[in-house]
Amino acid sequence: MNATKFTIGLTIFFFGPAQFSLATVLSKSQTPEKNIVKEFEQTKSSLLQIELSQREVLSSLFEINKNMKKTVTKKSKLSSERLLAQQESKKMAALVLELNQKISSQKKLLQQRLRFIYQFGDPGWLRMVLSSKSSAELDRLLRISVRLSQMDLRLINNYSQNIKLFEQKKKKFLAQLQDLKQIEVQMQTEEEALGAQNDSKMALLTKLRSSKQKKLLNLAQIRSEKENLDPEQKELLDLLLRPTFFEKKGSFKWPVVGKVKTPYGLMRDPDYQVSLFHKGVFLETNIQQTVKALYHGQVTYQSEIPGLGSSLIIDHGDHYYTVYVGIKNSHLKIGDPILPDQPLGQVSYSSNYQKNGVYFEIRHFSEADNPQAWMKGT
């Protein structure tokens, strides 16, 4: 074993994959593999940045989708209000017709009464009453209505009230229709803006996914370059250029053979009727099942959580972590190296889920990701 390989081996052993930098180890080396490793590190760094940007876009799309759902709910409510307004308009039309009939009938009676007054009274009085155009003028006439009989006073008063009621109802109805129209225009504007944002983010997401595929092809090409090196250098690069955790997305096996009882995502608590976001999955399985690691890594957290059992976090490098909660008979310690399919412990009973199984998460930095998207055949 040459000195370079020995140094790399010690670095991995003492510092683990999360803190291990390939470029740092070979920075002073003049061996042919240096350029391959450097190119690999640069491509991987670009790929990680694309992955972060993709997560940000997906997060934005999630928020846009939530806002669109709110807008749809508001539009549904608005449609209900519009239907109520239409029903109100039918009632209003019937009321207006009734008021018009009353006003017409009362006007005829007033004309008859005033013709009688004209025959026996001042002709100017008749002209003044018949030329009145508003309820205000009629109110003024009421002040001088002492010349009319009690029957005439009630008739004129009812006529005035009906005109006022008609004007009030008409004004209220028109204002209500105007408000509904303004709300509808506002909702349409919001919906169009959200749609434009969604289209823009989807276009960006498509572009990022295309770039990601190109970078993955670049990594595969870089790995193929090691075939031209001598066996010792090739053996070294097999270790250094091992596929990263995020490159394995969609090809992992579940840590236990079981059923996804509680999936990732938004869920509604049946007891408390509140919506909660489930950041992982609960895998229901036989209590004798062995919990296995997904990939190479290092134990960064191991502790007991009351009511949940032993909790284990494995760092897979590049800020990717897997979280296992509810395992027993685990003898791992912080700093222990982990291999793919390595036994981590056994399934235990979860008092939180009232079943035998294990709770499992995949995180990038501190953000949880849907584990099902990382598994083969799901």
The domain that holds 331 is classified in CATH as: 2.70.70.10
pLDDT for 273 beyond 90: no
Same domain, 193 and 337: no
Identify the top-confidence range among 136-140, 145-149, 199-203, 262-266: 262-266
The pLDDT assigned to 8 comes to 40
pLDDT at 131 over 50: yes
- 356, 285 Cβ separation under 8 angstroms: yes
Q: Is the pLDDT of residue 265 over 50?
A: yes
d(CA 94, CA 102) in angstroms, rounded, equals 12
What is the pLDDT averaged over residues 263-288? Answer: 83
Which domain-ending residue is among 242, 257, 282? 242
- Token pair of 335 as six digits: 């700093």
Phi, psi angle pair for 326, to nearest 5°: 95, 40
3-state secondary structure the chain: CCHHHHHHHHHHHHHCHHHCCHHHHCCCCCCCHHHHHHHHHHHHHHHHHHHHHHHHHHHHHHHHHHHHHHHHHHHHHHHHHHHHHHHHHHHHHHHHHHHHHHHHHHHHHHHHHHHHHHHHCCHHHHHHHHCCCCHHHHHHHHHCHHHCCHHHHHHHHHHHHHHHHHHHHHHHHHHHHHHHHHHHHHHHHHHHHHHHHHHHHHHHHHHHHHHHHHHHHHHHHHHHHHHHCCHHHHHHHHHHCCCCCHHHCCCECCCCCCEEEECCEEEECCCCCCEEEECCEEEECCCCCEEECCCCEEEEEEEEECCCEEEEEEECCCCEEEEEEEEECCCCCCCCEECCCCEEEEEEEECCCCEEEEEEEEEECCEEECHHHHECCC
Residues 217 and 259 in one domain: no
Q: Are residues 114 and 148 in the same domain?
A: yes
pLDDT in tens, 6-54: 334 433 333 344 444 444 544 445 555 667 777 778 887 887 788 788 7
Residue 149 lies in a domain: yes
Note the pLDDT of residue 148: 52
Q: Is there a domain that residue 6 lies in?
A: no
Per the CB < 8 A criterion, the answer to whether 238 and 226 are in contact is yes
173 and 234 share one domain: yes
**Residue 348 is assigned to a structural domain of this protein:** yes
CB-based burial of residue 212 (10 Å sphere; 0-12 exposed, 13-18 middle, 19+ buried)? middle
Share of the chain above pLDDT 90, in %: 21
Instruction: Find the helix packing angle between 150-225 and 33-120, rounded to 10°.
Output: 170
What pLDDT score was predicted for residue 218? 79
Q: Among all chains, which residue has been given the structure tokens 């982990």?
A: 338
Specify whether 286 is located in the same domain as 232: no
Say which residue, 246 or 117, is predicted with more confidence: 246
Task: Examine residue 13 and state whether it is found in any structural domain, yes or no.
Answer: no
Closest CA to 314 of 287, 290, 341: 341
Domain boundary at 204, 221, 242, which?
Answer: 242
For residues 161 and 374, the model is more confident at 374
What is the domain range of residue 251? Answer: 246-374
* 35 and 98 assigned to the same domain: yes
Domain boundary among 242, 262, 283: 242
| Residue 205 confidence (pLDDT) | 76
Number of domains in the chain: 2
Stretch 133-160: mean pLDDT, rounded? 61
352: region left, alpha or beta (phi > 0 left; psi from -120 to 50 alpha): alpha
> Is residue 208 located within the same domain as residue 264?
no
In the predicted structure, residue 256 carries a pLDDT above the cut 90? yes
Number of residues that make up the chain: 378
**207 and 252 belong to one structural domain:** no
Residues 261 and 173 placed together within one structural domain of the fold:
no
* Residues β-bridged to residue 131: none
What 247-254 contacts at long range (C-beta under 8 Å, 24+ apart), as own/partner pairs, is 247/216, 247/219, 248/295, 248/374, 249/373, 249/374, 250/373, 250/374, 250/375, 250/376, 251/376, 252/294, 252/295, 252/374, 252/375, 252/376, 253/292, 253/294, 253/341, 253/375, 253/376, 254/283, 254/360, 254/375
Task: Answer yes or no: are the C-beta atoms of 166 and 103 closer than 8 Å.
Answer: yes
Q: Which residues are within 8 A (CB) of 290 and not within 5 positions of it... i.e. 6 or more apart?
A: 256, 343, 344, 345, 346, 347
Q: How does pLDDT run across 93-123, given as a tens digit for each residue?
A: 677 677 777 777 767 776 776 666 555 455 5
- The residue-averaged pLDDT of 68-74 equals 76
The CA distances from residue 338 to 17, 301, 302, 335, 371, in Å, are: 10, 13, 13, 9, 19
pLDDT at 374: 94
Number of C-beta neighbours around residue 235 at 10 A: 13
pLDDT of 335 strictly over 80: yes
Is residue 200 scored above 70 in pLDDT? yes
pLDDT at 313 over 80: yes
Span 206-224, pLDDT tens digits: 887 788 788 777 777 777 7
250 and 234 share one domain: no
Average pLDDT score over the chain: 75
- Would you say residue 125 has pLDDT above 60? no
State whether 213 and 259 are in the same domain: no
**Residue 233 in this model has a pLDDT that exceeds 50:** yes
User: What pLDDT is attached to residue 253?
Assistant: 94
Give pLDDT, residue 23: 46
Residue 229 and residue 110 share a domain: yes
pLDDT over threshold 50, residue 337: yes
- Residue (of 287, 261, 260, 255) closest to 362 by Cα position: 255
Radius of gyration, CA atoms only, the chain = 40
Residue predicted with more confidence, 314 or 45: 314
The predicted pLDDT at position 178 comes to: 79
pLDDT band at 204 (very low <50, low <70, confident <90, very high): confident
Q: pLDDT tens-digit profile of 161-192?
A: 777 777 787 777 777 777 777 777 877 887 78
Q: Is residue 4 part of a domain?
A: no
Q: Is residue 26 part of a domain?
A: no
Region 284-301 average pLDDT: 93
The answer to whether position 3 is within a domain reads no
- Residue 367 in any domain: the answer is yes
More confident residue, 354 or 344: 344
Percent of the chain predicted with pLDDT > 70: 70
What confidence score (pLDDT) does residue 108 get?
75
